Structure 1
């Protein structure tokens, strides 16, 4: 898959989402190797639990949040980013499928959350230092929590079976190395 503007996430077929009409994402690869992303969720926001902050950082993914999974093309190691509407963010590093390793310090990404009418948007910038160098594979995802406590899983691509954002088949967006 190559970048398009905007890309459309799809809901996992095991749990259709009656509240969300669509989630679109635009991706920009900066010349310095950084990434710009803009997520836009549209739907009946009153039917969703949208965190205002104060969540445990280790569990942002258990609530409504936008996520990004990044690996170097051809690699096994990857990084997971979680971005909560409450303004919190977290990242996890993995040496292979679900094998978590310590994460070195990195600068905070720039996050700009907005809620307007039936839309929730996040514009963010990740510096090149937060990403592997060279060509990348991305898994772009979202967890949507409804007021009834149910969860719905959105991604550019879902591997077969239950929702699993860590599965290599979910890293469907290929981005070439930046050109100076």
Structure 2
């Protein structure tokens, strides 16, 4: 299991976040987000039944996984909400197409999503994506990020922030290679 201290774009001492990635089988990705919120500042969404697909999850507390392809422009963005809602988006290149909401990706499957006492965990099957794009797991690199909403502000966490502004779509900040 690979773990990463996720960094807030605007430094905060109130909330800490650790992200983890594990690949127990070919095309299966498990992600975990462990949150340290001693003052209980985070606004969590109420749970909904099942795992519905919903857009605009990033407007509230949302955990994200980006799936990039080595030497290619295409990528996927997966949004995971504490409500158990989720969504996957497909991009041909950096933030393109520019439609809002972005174009849904149906080649990523959610196996499980859980809000835990310590944060969020999810299991995803990317085998349809690998098959349709004729890729191997070794062609994939991943980025973890999160939008954390509190009553005072929105915090933007990522593996790293290499730009002058927070930009989760910046592939330079996706640091995990499968």
TM category, shorter: 0.7 to 0.9
> Runs ≥4 in structure 1, deviation > 6 angstroms?
none
- TM-score in terms of structure 1 length: 0.81
Counterpart in the other structure of 2:45: 51
Relative to the length of structure 2, the TM-score reads: 0.82
- The corresponding residue for 1:178 is none
The runs of 5 or more residues in structure 2 that have no matched partner are none
Instruction: Report the CA distance shift for 1:104/1:56 in structure 2 as closer, same or farther (over 3 A).
Output: closer
5 Å-filtered alignment, 1:4-23, equals 4=2, 6-12=3-9, 15-20=10-15, 22-23=16-17
Matched, 1:90 2:87: yes
CA distance in structure 1 between the partners assigned to 2:25 and 2:167 by the alignment: 31
**Structure 2 residue corresponding to 1:27, chosen from 21, 26, 31:** 21
Let me know the Cα RMSD of the aligned residues.
2.2
Q: Are 1:112 and 1:124, in contact at CA under 8 Å, matched by a contact in 2? A: yes
Worse overlay, 151-160 or 103-112: 103-112
Secondary structure at the aligned position of 1:47 is classed as coil
8 Å contact from structure 1 (residues 70, 131) kept in 2: no
Say if 2:139 is the partner of 1:139: no
Select 2:78's aligned residue among 78, 81, 88: 81
Instruction: Measure the CA separation in 1 of the matches of 2:148 and 2:70.
Output: 28
Paired with 2:111 and 2:32, the residues of 1 have a C-alpha distance of: 13
Q: CA deviation at 1:56?
A: 9.0
Distance 2:145 2:128 in 1: 18
Corresponding position of 1:123: 121
How far is 1:82 from its partner?
A: 0.6
Report the Cα offset of residue 69 of structure 1. 0.5
Q: Structure 2 CA distance, aligned partners of 1:24 and 1:109? A: 22
3-state SS of the aligned residue for 1:70?
strand
Counterpart of 1:109? 111
Contact (CA 8 Å) 1:34, 1:131: kept in 2 or not?
A: no
Q: Give secondary structure in 1 for the equivalent of 2:120.
A: strand
Aligned residues: 164
Comparing 121-130 with 48-57, which one deviates more in the overlay?
Answer: 48-57
